[in-house]
């Protein structure tokens, strides 16, 4: 898929599950659960032990799944993620070296941004999509709304503290998607290997986004 196709798919689904777990086995279990529930997207964070192997495994075993790399801290790691098959890169903060690598390789990148200056800098570097993080702590949906006013052409993902209770607010405020971690992939569900629990949460988030978009329109 081209980077434009990957971005379009992310915006269509509207939910990016962030897999930040304690082992490769747990990460694979979580990714397969969310995918089977209608979210064919997964962000494997570099904090997962063996994250590169997880990415390569998912790319090989689940061709329908859009597999990305998250919490990428430098361009060297970003290169290794791309070699493993990642189709998008995202970072906690704005690292222009990572952005430049992704642009050069024609791969989707959405860096973490917090301030208007960072949004502006990312956009000038070629990013049509950014991740506002940590969104809830910055003011929640109101902060997304405030950023969208001067940056109407920048697509924004709300990430950080997104729950079932506030996801709709972020979408109505103008976010094209939400990044969700523990509220979609609970620690207890992983410990008990309860895939149905994760699937139910995945379906709920997809419905929340869909309903919020209908109201926004």
> How do beta strands 108-110 and 88-90 pair?
parallel
Q: Both tokens of residue 80? A: 């290794």
Q: Would you tell me which CATH number, out of the four given (3.20.20.70, 2.60.40.1120, 1.10.10.60, 3.40.50.2020), belongs to the domain 3-211?
A: 3.20.20.70
Q: What is the pLDDT of residue 217?
A: 53
Regions of the chain short of the pLDDT cut 50: none
Instruction: Give the tens place of pLDDT for each residue, 90-114.
Output: 999 999 999 999 999 999 999 999 9
Q: What is the pLDDT of residue 216?
A: 61
Beta-carbon neighbour count of residue 4 at 10 Å?
Answer: 11
> How do beta strands 41-45 and 15-19 pair?
parallel
The answer for residues whose C-beta is within 8 angstroms of residue 135's C-beta and 6 or more apart is 143, 144, 158, 159, 160, 161, 162, 170
Q: What is the pLDDT of residue 161?
A: 94
Contact 166, 141 (CB under 8 A): yes
Q: Which residues are catalytic?
A: 43, 131
Instruction: Give the tens place of pLDDT for each residue, 118-144.
Output: 999 999 999 999 999 999 988 899 999
Q: What is the pLDDT of residue 1?
A: 87
């Amino acid at each position: 898929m081209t980077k434009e196709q990957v971005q379009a798919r992310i915006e269509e689904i509207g939910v990016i599950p962030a897999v930040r777990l304690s082992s490769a086995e747990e990460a694979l279990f979580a990714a397969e659960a969310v995918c089977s529930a209608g979210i064919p997207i997964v962000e494997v964070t570099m904090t997962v032990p063996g994250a590169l192997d997880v990415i390569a495994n998912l790319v090989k075993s689940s061709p329908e799944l859009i597999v990305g790399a998250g919490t990428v801290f430098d361009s060297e790691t970003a290169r290794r993620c791309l070699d493993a098959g990642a189709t998008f890169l995202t970072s906690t903060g704005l690292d222009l070296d990572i952005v430049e690598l992704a642009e050069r390789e024609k791969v989707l990148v959405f860096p973490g941004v917090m301030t208007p200056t960072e949004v502006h800098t990312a956009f000038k570097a070629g990013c049509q999509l950014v991740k506002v993080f940590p969104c809830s702590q910055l003011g929640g949906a109101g902060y997304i709304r405030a950023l969208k006013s001067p940056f109407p052409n920048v697509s924004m993902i709300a990430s950080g503290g997104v729950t079932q209770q506030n996801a709709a607010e972020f979408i109505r405020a103008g976010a094209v998607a939400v990044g969700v971690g523990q509220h979609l992939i609970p620690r207890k569900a992983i410990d008990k290997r309860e895939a149905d629990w994760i699937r139910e949460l995945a379906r709920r988030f997809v419905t929340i986004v869909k309903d919020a978009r209908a109201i926004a329109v």
